[in-house]
Chains A and B, each alone.
Chain A
Amino acid sequence: MVFYTSILFDAPHATKYNAQLGVYSRIRYESVMALKGNLRDFTISQLLNLINIANKSGTLVVDGSGETVSVSFRQGKLAYAQKSQEDNSLAAILYRAKKINSNQLQSIKMRGNQMNDKQLGLMLINANYLTQKEILVCLQTHYINLLSGLFTWNEGNFKFENDMPPPSDKITVHIGLENIIMEGTRRVKEWEHLQDEIPSLEIALKFADRPGTNIKNISLSVDEWRVVKYISPKNTLTQIARAAQLDDMQMRRIAYGLIQAGLVEFVRSQGVTARPTSISMSIPAANKEEQKSLINRLITRIRSL
């Protein structure tokens, strides 16, 4: 890992306890070193904690498996976030948040070249279409979701670029990191738990023959219904997640909930070739009576022990 411990003192000011005076004094460190490494060695919560405590400003770039997320901070607060493979324009974010419809999105995109996010935001406010608060809440949610998503990344190279501000044409926010760190940590625990319960998505579900719960009393969310309609021994959870446009964590969470409710149970996917049953390797396959005789001999012997 290329992580320099000295970056811990990269903040404009760090504190040191003076035992004689019994106070904390501020120290200025001259050298500013690169903060880079791998999430395997230094987790996202440790990074955010560092940025928060040191009031750092700059942009954190994390490269995961085929994805890059950039998150900008000002004075230790979240200011902006974007994902490389996603449309990060304000119009797209508002569309995903269902604040504008697809026709409006198209119309904005057509004029998009002449307008940046700040100008678009202003236009929407002046046209009384959305309030400033509504736009900011959408952006805050989007940025927080991108940052929180990083908590489930176990692998990925990161680099914190000091003094690299967010893009000037983007609308920024000012969100404290404490709650994000706490929520992210909770998410990591949930992720670990779900991975324990459902280690692989290459399995299928089937409806329980006798569900343990009264179905009439169950109310399912829209996402759960989307999963339920695909449940079949022929469909692996990976296939269902793809069809229902859910990420790994959402798929595991829904599957776990349905299993816990007694509605469904695991079944080996019919699409996966099961290993041939091995019992014939041990017992003479040809004659059932011979097989039974062998088991009876074992029973007699065990009884005599």
Chain B
Amino acid sequence: MQTVKMVVTGPFNAGKTEFIRSVSEIDVVSTERKITSKAEKVKASTTVAMDFGRISVDKDLVLYLFGTPGQKRFDFMWEILSEGMLGFIVMVDSTRPETFREARSILETFRAYAPTPYVVAANKQDLKDAWDLEDMRIALRLDKKVKLLPCVASQKKSVKTILLELLYSILEEMDAAK
């Protein structure tokens, strides 16, 4: 049995757990704790170690999705989770521009861990306060070549598109390396 993994990362409350939950065939193994910090109390619980989802491809191949903890004080987990990843997805909450700088910083950190392909998912695009994608690209200082994709993490179809785009990027990189 061969296993491959992708990592879903991003700032606190970007929608990483929701994203994995939408496509995982198992109940997401979540290591969530109640939030105690007042500043971060925009939701009731947060991921402290990792989320873990699975998609079986066939009898010989399984894809694991790992969600990283969003709070900075758990960033010691990031490097461990990035080990051996096929690629990664940076989730960004389109309605919270105050998290964009952190998203950029997380992106750079993961690029430093492993220069694997990645895409940026602009989550919560269904909300009225969501930033326009091109504005987000500027704010996140993303090169035009980087895929910045609209996303609604609670919708399976949207999550599928993000995963597929990451896989296409991996294929493109393989072709380019020829």
Contact = CB atoms under 8 A, between A and B. Distances in A.
A297 B58 contact: yes
Contacts of A277: 114-116
A291 B174 contact: yes
Interface in A107-130: none
B132 interface: no
A301 B65 CA distance: 14
Given A197-B101, A288-B178, A298-B4, A278 B114 contact: yes
Contacts of B23: 302, 305
Given A196-B101, A301-B58, A305-B55, A283 B4 contact: yes
Which of B3, B102, B174 has its CB near the most chain A CB atoms (within 10 A)?
B174
Please report whether the interface of chain A is mostly helix, strand, loop or mixed according to DSSP: helix
A292 B170 CA distance: 9
Interface size grouping (class) on chain B: 35 or more
A268 interface: yes
Contacts of B178: 288
Contacts of B170: 295
B171 A294 contact: no
B53 to A, nearest CB: 12
Given A266-B108, A298-B167, A282 B4 contact: yes
Interface in A235-273: 266, 268
B21 interface: no
B2 to A, nearest CB: 8
Given A268-B112, A282-B84, A295 B105 contact: no
Contacts of A305: 23, 55, 156, 160
Contacts of A286: none
Given A196-B105, A288-B174, A295-B167, A279 B86 contact: yes
A252 to B, nearest CB: 14
B160 A302 contact: yes
Nearest to B113: A275
A292 B156 contact: no
Given A277-B115, A294-B4, A299-B164, 11 more contacts: A197-B101, A274-B112, A274-B115, A278-B82, A278-B84, A281-B83, A282-B4, A283-B86, A301-B58, A302-B23, A302-B55
Query: Which 7 A-B residue pairs are closest in the complex by CB-CB distance?
Result: A281-B84, A301-B57, A282-B4, A278-B114, A278-B84, A299-B167, A302-B163
16 contacts: A197-B105, A275-B114, A279-B86, A279-B114, A282-B4, A283-B86, A291-B174, A292-B171, A297-B57, A297-B58, A298-B57, A301-B58, A302-B160, A303-B160, A303-B164, A305-B156
Interface of A: 196-197, 199, 266, 268, 274-275, 277-279, 281-283, 288, 291-292, 294-299, 301-303, 305
